[in-house]
């Protein structure tokens, strides 16, 4: 590899980097500068043992991308994007119209509601995800409206989802403590850096039951945590509190009015049946959502980058903290996405760091 390698901070400082996120938030230039400063402060707190190799790879990748698009017009969404999302939109809201105006009996009502809900999820996959990256339209307000509409049937707040998707998952994919999508939970072990428990050996069998609950958990609990918990203040930076709350409650009202209010108002079904239909079809949508993600996020070849702070204990303790206690080696359960990795002893630091479990490869 040849040529001068630009440090990560220099890359982040480019308008192309922070402009995309600030367009997602609808920020002006002063707010963009504050957002840039905060982003650099957060990112500079994490260093990786392979940082130089990653910077070299990033430099070569950016060079090849620029060469590929040299002299070519770069547009936003084309007809294929709109055709794909439009098919799901027509199917979803066509099913919605049939639900409300078709005078269905209980069984067909449930089946059509499932189509309405599932096709709505696929609108979020096609239109919503790209709108969160501000790639559907040139203007941020248009991307925001598309993002809002695309998530209406899903129920997860689009602004909060977009913030953690851009600021956490895409920047720190599979990094323990930084990628919110693999945060520790009491049921599933999603990273080799998570502590191993004996019941994780059966994770492959009970995980689908947990997946059924993920959508309801996000709608009724997770969104509130991301909105209110101080641990996620870094994620909410750059967004005014008033805007955050107004968009949050506006979206939730829209979601529940569409998914529950209209069926209760325009059909003769009981509250119990509509609620059962909402939660049961939502559970199947959640399972579908997770299955679609597993193949692209959790597999044997997935990389779980380790920061210098969390490096394997076999090469010595953390240089920033004084270890005061150690544990015993852990395991990675059979069938786990972290197969081939063995957890080493956790290091409990005497300073502000929490107990961290590090991992090393046994391949």
Domain count, the chain: 3
Strand intervals (E) in 216-333: 323-326
Same domain, 180 and 317: no
Same domain, 32 and 129: no
Measured CA to CA, the distance from residue 215 to residue 284 in angstroms comes to 9
Measured CA to CA, the distance from residue 110 to residue 53 in angstroms comes to 53
Same domain, 275 and 325: no
Largest CA distance in the chain: 70
Same domain, 315 and 270: no
Residue 167, helix vs strand vs coil? helix
Within-domain flag for 1: no
Within-domain flag for 358: yes
Same domain, 98 and 238: yes
Measured CA to CA, the distance from residue 94 to residue 119 in angstroms comes to 10
Within-domain flag for 291: yes
SS3 content of the chain, % helix, strand, coil (to 5): 60, 5, 35
Within-domain flag for 26: yes
**Along the 363 residues of the chain, how does pLDDT read in single tens digits?**
333 333 333 333 344 444 445 555 554 444 444 444 444 444 445 666 666 777 888 888 889 988 888 877 777 888 999 999 999 999 999 999 999 998 999 999 999 999 999 999 999 999 999 999 999 998 889 999 999 999 999 999 999 999 999 888 888 888 877 788 888 888 988 888 888 999 999 998 999 999 999 999 999 999 999 999 998 898 898 899 999 999 999 999 999 999 999 999 999 999 999 999 999 999 999 999 998 887 677 777 777 877 655 544 333 333 333 332 223 333 333 333 332 222 222 333 333 333 333 333 323
Same domain, 255 and 116: yes
Within-domain flag for 331: yes
pLDDT of residue 183: 83
**Domain that residue 331 falls in:** 306-363
Same domain, 313 and 338: yes
DSSP assignment letter at 134: T
Give the phi and the psi of residue 27 in degrees, each rounded to 5: -95, 150
Same domain, 198 and 340: no
Q: Would you say the pTM of this structure is higher than 0.85?
A: no
Residue 126, helix vs strand vs coil? helix
Other residues' Cβ atoms within 10 Å of the Cβ of residue 50: 11
Residues facing 347 on adjacent strands = 326, 356
Pairing of strands 341-343, 359-361: antiparallel
Among residues 266, 297, 328, the one where a domain terminates is 297
Among residues 43, 69, 95, the one where a domain terminates is 69
Same domain, 183 and 235: yes
Strand intervals (E) in the chain: 323-326, 341-343, 347-349, 359-361
Cα separation values, 71 from 16, 65, 85, 126, Å: 18, 12, 29, 28
Within-domain flag for 2: no
Same domain, 356 and 287: no
Within-domain flag for 46: yes
Within-domain flag for 74: no
Contact 131, 143 (CB under 8 A): yes
Among residues 242, 262, 297, the one where a domain terminates is 297
Contact 259, 281 (CB under 8 A): no
Same domain, 287 and 318: no
Same domain, 146 and 292: yes
The full DSSP string for 15-57 is HHHHHHHHHHHT--HHHHHHHHHHHHHHHTT--BTTHHHHHHH
Measured CA to CA, the distance from residue 349 to residue 360 in angstroms comes to 19
Write down the H helix ranges in 155-213: 158-164, 203-211
């Amino acid at each position: 590899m040849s040529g001068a390698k630009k440090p990560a901070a220099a890359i982040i400082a480019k308008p192309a980097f922070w402009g995309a996120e600030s367009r997602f938030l609808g920020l002006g230039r002063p707010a963009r500068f504050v957002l840039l400063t905060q982003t650099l402060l957060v990112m500079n707190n994490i260093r990786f043992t392979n940082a130089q190799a990653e910077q070299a790879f990033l430099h070569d990748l950016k060079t090849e991308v620029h060469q590929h698009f040299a002299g070519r017009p770069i547009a936003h969404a084309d007809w294929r994007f709109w055709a794909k999302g439009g098919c799901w939109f027509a199917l979803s809201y066509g099913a919605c119209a049939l639900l409300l105006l078709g005078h269905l009996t209980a069984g067909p009502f449930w089946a059509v509601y499932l189509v309405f809900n599932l096709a709505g999820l696929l609108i979020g996959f096609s239109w919503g995800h790209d709108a969160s990256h501000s790639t559907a339209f040139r203007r941020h307000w248009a991307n925001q409206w598309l993002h809002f509409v695309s998530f209406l049937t899903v129920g997860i707040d689009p602004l909060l989802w977009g913030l953690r998707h851009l600021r956490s998952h895409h920047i720190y994919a599979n990094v323990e403590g930084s990628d919110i999508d693999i945060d520790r939970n009491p049921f599933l072990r999603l990273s080799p850096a998570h502590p191993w428990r004996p019941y994780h050996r059966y994770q492959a069998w009970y995980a689908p039951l947990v997946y059924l609950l993920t959508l309801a958990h996000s709608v009724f609990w997770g969104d509130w945590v991301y909105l209110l918990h101080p641990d996620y203040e870094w994620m909410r930076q750059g967004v005014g509190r008033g805007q955050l709350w107004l968009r949050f409650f506006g979206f939730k009202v829209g979601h529940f009015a569409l998914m529950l209010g209209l069926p209760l108002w325009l059909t003769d079904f009981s509250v119990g049946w509509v609620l059962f239909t909402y939660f049961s079809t939502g559970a199947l949508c959640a399972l579908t959502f997770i299955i679609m993600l597993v193949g692209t996020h959790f597999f044997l070849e997935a990389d779980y980058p380790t920061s210098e702070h969390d490096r394997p204990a076999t090469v010595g303790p953390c240089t920033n903290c004084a270890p005061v206690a150690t544990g015993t080696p852990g395991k990675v359960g059979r069938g786990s996405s972290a197969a081939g990795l063995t957890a080493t002893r956790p290091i409990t630091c005497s300073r502000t760091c929490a107990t961290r479990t590090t991992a090393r490869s046994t391949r």
